[in-house]
Structure 1
């Protein structure tokens, strides 16, 4: 069965957006405006805009629920909670990374200032929990625990990512642990919450959680590759910004620890105080490739995807929603190779 992934994402966005708008609508006027701009609902002057994110995480919530049974009474709220926490992380990431572009327009902090964007991110984080407890149901406490655990992992991962910028001894294993917190934790959370709201038992929720976590690892590896060699016109984000910030993404750490001549040259560039811009940034990206690290990242991505499918299909689980989860995973990994 062929699933139209863009249709799945569009449908998920339509399902979750009313809950997101209702939650954001509870904020004070200025913070609400920053959040509405960040979500793509309005321009900076408050006039309507039609830009929106992909709604990948809400789609995972809905599809994971349908892989078990049907959307439960808390599925929309769970999808909204995950998307709110995700956007909290985006607002803060843009600040910490000094990124000036997201979704093909200026980031919120460049428009409204750093303090306003920081507080808007904090507000979205608080709203994430609020939407789960607005109408308590049987699994509310467990839903909050899963979301809180993922948020904690996300924060730990982001802290590690920032700390790596100033270290010269980052190992590949700890880099992958950082990715598991920063990116994979929330995708795992989305799938677990979907299964939970549909009445899945503990073992089923755990399997869907593992599927999302492995998919999240593959997702971040794709992002890391696109950050080095992607097309900004397509991705909506500036290319080589991670290198300019001397971030130690997984492909970079693989190159730095590869023992190759290219890896040693890259180490020299990373330790040199001269800014990594222009041709120096382009050279650094090429050295990552020469060290074999782009090939490694693509191979590791495939390995993680295979592991995700193993969790998804445990027990012979089949059906349209399982097919949709499979095709959505393929879409994520193949999007811009």
Structure 2
């Protein structure tokens, strides 16, 4: 049995229930900006050595919680575990980012794709169970995956990309092949997230990191449609507890209405969105997550606190005039930079808690 939750503020905000303050966690909160993370990674020998070792993954997931009063932990893993389990041969070269040994660009490669045996991802589920136990009810644990479109970008490009030339060429020239890749990805991601929930994840997040590179019309057909396919299959409840689902599309504010209708409980926004307008636009359909520019963390602490207040003021008091609640989870508009001074994060987290309490008191 897992320990009862001592702090469920994050889950309550996701489900648009009353909270005493605005909860905060940070995308990539366990990472290279922390010296203790760099020490553990050195012990593990490589990024994948870290991600595939249950004890190391548990250790680094908990590191930011020792430093900061964060309201959620997020599984330490990588978004590319699913295509790796499909046999594409994932590797990480220092300073170069992820690379796949095999790319998926022609009919034969697409035809060979299949939803992987989830046993190949057992190391992830073992890490989830281990982290959940180590948290001992301190805060909830978030599981995650890359979205079908974002995974497809890496699979077709063979790694990261500046112009998405290969994946967009395939999409425009052979939409049939692209749809087949995305169908396999969507069904694999849904199984993967459900297995994380069964292992102990209390919320799950879909990272559509590259959805915003698509043209209007293409985004709906090739990204959002498949995020919707995932969300339609992912559990909403486990062991009597509601499991919130978060959908984050970087560059997606343009399509907020459509994203809000995709089936998630929470929509993540990057820093280009105006939170107050977004709140009015979604009209209580979903909670919102975001959306401080990660580069604010390079400014002095006073400037960080000012920008935090600006984000919270934009959303406003989550309690509506009619007595209902609109959920807000404070986060960055994308992952924290590896060059961030760790002490600057303290200013962010403390100000979120202090200022959001003041807002609820009408101060």
- Normalised by the length of structure 1, the TM-score is 0.32
Question: When you count strand as a share of all residues, which structure comes out higher?
Answer: 2
- Normalised by the length of structure 2, the TM-score is 0.30
Question: When you count helix as a share of all residues, which structure comes out higher?
Answer: 1
